Amino acid sequence: MTMRTQWRDRYRDGFFLAPMVRVGTLPMRLQAQQYGADLMWGPEIVDKSIVGSERVVDDKTGVIAYVKGGKDIFTTHPSERQKVIFQMGSAAPETALTAAKHIEQDVSGIDLNCGCPKRFSIQGGMGAALMADPPRLCSILDVLVKNIDLPITCKIRVFDNIEKTLDLVRQIAATGISALTVHCRTKNMRPHEKAMWNRLNDVVSELPDLPIILNGDIFEYADVQRAREETGATSVMTARGAAANPSIFRSEGMLPAMDAAREYTKFAVRTSNSFVNTKYTLVQMYPETKSEQFSVLRSVRSYKEMCEAMGLSEFYESEGAALIHSRAEPSSAPSSNKRPTQPIDSADLLKRAKV
């Protein structure tokens, strides 16, 4: 079996965490992995941002951070090394290649975002702008496939016109990528509009050898099988379903959202994730938005206060406080009682969070 065939197999028959800016950072990915996600995509990171960043390993948590201008551009952990896909925004093959070379030692695949409809992406010639410029899109994939020793994939949306979609996917497949994710909405469709799964059948028939990953409107585990049956796609990816409750990946059923939110907080503390990022994600996830506790959560200014609001004070005092490093807390955070600690084993991170 060739390496390329083996790579393709990783993308078949899976249930994956979709790329999500801000939300799909390290704690969410580790939690998704713990609950059964087969692969986890990181949030889109623009190639220029990762180029020139410094790789810093935190000896307390084992977290690997790519830091630039004092900010964590991308963080990962050895315990997700076999499953994390780095998603890149790019408009130029040379910069994409430099970025991929910089990050390849710590990730398991590289994905090109060709579906983002945001103005920032389009104006920079990235995201959905690449779908309007197939030669450029394919030149980026081509250079990555030829020069990076990892599986290369990409994520697109559909066009209104099926022939146009099929023409694009044929060109993309010819670059030799290992899988293709199709978000079953057009560039102009809003997230609340129903994803058009029926558009995928033709893509699956057109490219029988390439794993096609369905994305759009997977909100519970039962949707995975339904999507497979209706479209013929063997793999499925969820974004908002996981953002609302990361335990969507559990084959034995979702946990109550509050339990998943509490578990998420622990993963964030154990990886010393940026407080601002953790709070943002937690607020989206918190199920009881009318409650007094939710107002308290919205006002917290440090991990100590966050853990108190989540009923995790004991966890924070016994374990968490010692793990939070200075880049993670906001500069305005009230001082905490940090203590020195032993470095923790990478496999231990997952073990400790068993639910």
Lay out the site mask for ligand FMN across 159-178 (x = CB under 6 A, - = otherwise): --------------------
Residue list 27-66, contact with ligand FMN (CB under 6 A): 43-44
Closer residue to ligand FMN (CB): 61 or 231: 231
Q: How far is the C-alpha of 300 from the C-alpha of 296, rounded, in Å?
A: 7
Which listed residue (7, 8, 20, 235) binds ligand FMN by CB under 6 A?
A: 20
Which of 19, 27, 151, 211 binds ligand FMN (CB under 6 A)? It is 19
DSSP 99: H
The type of residue at 65 is A
Regarding 200 and contact with ligand FMN (CB under 6 A), the answer is: no
**Pair 265, 246: CB distance under 8 Å:** no
183 binds ligand FMN (CB under 6 A): yes
CB of 112 to ligand FMN, least distance (A): 9
**Which of 18, 152, 182, 268 is in the footprint of ligand FMN by CB under 6 A?**
18
Instruction: Give me the amino acid identity at 121.
Output: S
Closer of 61 and 87 to ligand FMN (Cβ): 87
Q: Which of 85, 88, 91, 116 binds ligand FMN (CB under 6 A)?
A: 116
Write phi, then psi, for 76 (nearest 5 degrees): -145, 180
d(CA 19, CA 29): 10
Crossing angle of helices 275-285 and 292-299, rounded to 10°: 160
Q: CA-CA distance, 4 to 177, in Å (whole number)?
A: 9
Smallest gap from Cβ 72 to ligand FMN, in A, equals: 16
217 is an interface residue for ligand FMN by CB under 6 A = yes
Question: If you count them, how many residues does the chain have?
Answer: 355
Q: Select the residue interacting with ligand FMN from 62, 151, 211, 241 (CB under 6 A).
A: 241
Stretch binding ligand FMN (CB under 6 A), from 18-26, 57-65, 70-78, 92-100 = 18-26
116 in active site: yes
How are beta strands 39-41 and 45-46 bridged, if at all?
unpaired
CB-nearer residue toward ligand FMN: 113 or 186: 113
Which residues have CB under 8 Å from 64's CB, separation 6+? 55, 56, 57, 58, 75, 76, 77, 78, 106
Tokens standing for residue 143: 């250079």
Residue 29 is encoded by which pair of tokens? 């990915």
Q: Which residues are catalytic?
A: 116
Chain contacts with ligand FMN (rule: CB under 6 A): 18-21, 23, 43-44, 87, 113, 115-116, 155, 183, 191, 195, 215-218, 238-241
